Structure 1
Amino acid sequence: MNTSASLLAFDSDPVRQLRADLALALRAAARHGLAEGVCNHFSVELPDGTGRFLLNPRGLLWSEVQADDTVMVDAEGRQLAGRHEVEPTAMFIHAAMHRIGGKPCVLHTHMPYATALTLTAVGGLDTTLSQNAMRFHGRTAIDRHYNGLALDGSEGERIATAAGGADVVFLGNHGVMVCGARLDHAYDDLYYLERACQAQVLAMSTGARLTPVDPVLAAAVARQTLGERLQSELFFEALRRTV
């Protein structure tokens, strides 16, 4: 357990950088069409082992979020710092995903094409179809049990348990969560997940027979993609220059 002297303060340099990165990811998601009103949330843990994490505030469009708008909550989802309120479902879902799933970054969206797949019997992405989809081979889970809004801790814990440690979780009749160890890597996955889902939905809409590759090949492509994440980092830096 960390002592109080080792806790990172909300206004310390490392936390301010995380706050800036979180705000950048939110604004980028808005630009890429992944946002929905003032709903959905991104969160990232502080790197001090306390379980505290940063979260976007209630009531702001993702396109307007700046570093100073982010808030900090504890492992139970209680707000600790920040000038804005926090939306209840964010605290229940994200606190559980960090605590139970052990995921430093949790990005939850209702982005259109990924959500469209959660409304079907397929339930999620076929990771043997497009090259973009193959990067997620062996990394996804589908939680088909929609149980209404996550307005209590038990529902957040149920979702986190159903995720089973997967990096990508398709939430039936709801949306998707993308998790990762780093914010730049997680955002890159979020972006390409939606691109892969878009390609699958468009291909399905043609009514033509789909042509998946061998799962062994899909697994190899996933290893190739994850074996070198410089492209993910360069993408995030490009967003920092342009968003």
Structure 2
Amino acid sequence: MTSARRTPQQERDHRRLQLLIALRAFAQAGFDEGAGGHITARDPLRPDHFWINPFGRHFGHVRVEDLLLVDREGAVVEGSGKVNPAGYAIHSRIHRARPEVVAAAHTHSVYGRAFSSLGRPLDPLTQDACAFFEDHVVHHEYGGVVLDGDEGTRIARTLGGNKAVILANHGLLTVGGSVEEAAWWFLAMDRCCQAQLLAEAAGKPQLIEADAARAARELIGSPAIARLNFRPVREHVLNTAADL
């Protein structure tokens, strides 16, 4: 069933399940580290609220009933648990600035962190990297752990209308018009960071020309392709998680 055919309650249930699947996929990818990292999904019944994973829970053990619904002020209005302060500071401002964004993902993945220390965008080195060509930016201002809304606002401003932002000396953040999109862009971007780090360690990589990179982005950087690529990820999670 497509989102256009779902009732608001059915869409809420769908987004919560996809959020859970994304968290499990991130756990399988090794993106869970301590209490850091968060994925959010805008609530279709109350669009100024969003669902988020509880603070201090391993991605691989979160259940649908553990997800928290947070209001504009950061208060938990459904669910039981605490909200990661940095998660609220960043995601609340992105959801406010980008009403078309349904989901946002940020974790401290190893390759994303390593690449973020370079303070520059990804190059179009591979076909996969072209999905992000001229559709991601670098937020150069590292001001410590993001605990206030002002820094979240600055990140949202830097992100602009792009699908991703590299937070210098911090990591990656991706957004999408669905949970599937935001999650896939994060998974793909982290692997692109890995590929570029490996290529540059081995020698001087050859870049794809700008026109070819743009043409590739139009094909593989679309929301529909992100949702398509997330399908096998979802299938793997559903077939390996005994409780789903």
Specify which of 209, 216, 222 is matched with residue 214 of structure 1: 209
Structure 1: gaps spanning 5 or more residues? 1-7
Q: Identity percentage over the alignment?
A: 30
- Residue of structure 2 aligned with 1:106, choices 97, 104, 107: 104
Q: Distance in 2 between matches of 1:60 and 1:237?
A: 21
What does 1:175-194 align with in structure 2 at a 5 Å threshold? 175-194=171-190
Q: Which residue of 2 aligns with 1:115?
A: 113
Opposite residue 51 of structure 1, the aligned amino acid is: D
1:73-128 Cα deviation digits (max 9, x unpaired): 1233322111111121111111001001332110011111121111114x2311x1
Match for 1:37 among 34, 49, 64? 34
Q: Give the whole-Å Cα distance in 2 for the aligned partners of 1:151 and 1:191.
A: 25
Q: CA deviation at 1:55?
A: 0.3
Counterpart CA distance in 1 for 2:51 and 2:210 is 37
Q: In structure 2, which of residues 77, 88, 91 is the aligned counterpart of residue 91 of structure 1?
A: 88
Task: Please name the residue that 1:51 is paired with.
Answer: 48
Displacement of 1:237 after TM fit? 3.6
1:135 to 131, 141, 153: 131
**In 2, Cα distance between equivalents of 1:110 and 1:34:** 7
Tell me the secondary structure at the aligned position of residue 132 of structure 2: coil
Q: Which amino acid aligns with 1:200?
A: Q
Q: Which residue of 1 aligns with 2:144?
A: 148
Instruction: For residue 63 of structure 1, report the CA deviation from its aligned partner.
Output: 0.9
Q: CA deviation at 1:231?
A: 2.5
Superposed CA deviations along residues 19-78 of structure 1, whole A, max 9, x for unmatched, are: 221111001101012222221100010124631110000110011111111000123332
User: How far does the alpha carbon of each residue in 1:153-186 deviate from its partner, in whole angstroms, 9 at most, with x for none?
Assistant: 1111111112112111000111110100011122
Q: Secondary structure at the match of 1:135?
A: helix
2:19 match: 22
2: CA distance, partners of 1:63 / 1:25? 10
User: Structure 1 stretch 166-175 or stretch 79-88: which is displaced more?
Assistant: 79-88
The SS at the match of 2:21 is helix
Q: Give the letter aligned to residue 153 of structure 1.
A: G
Query: Normalized against structure 2, the TM-score is what?
Result: 0.88
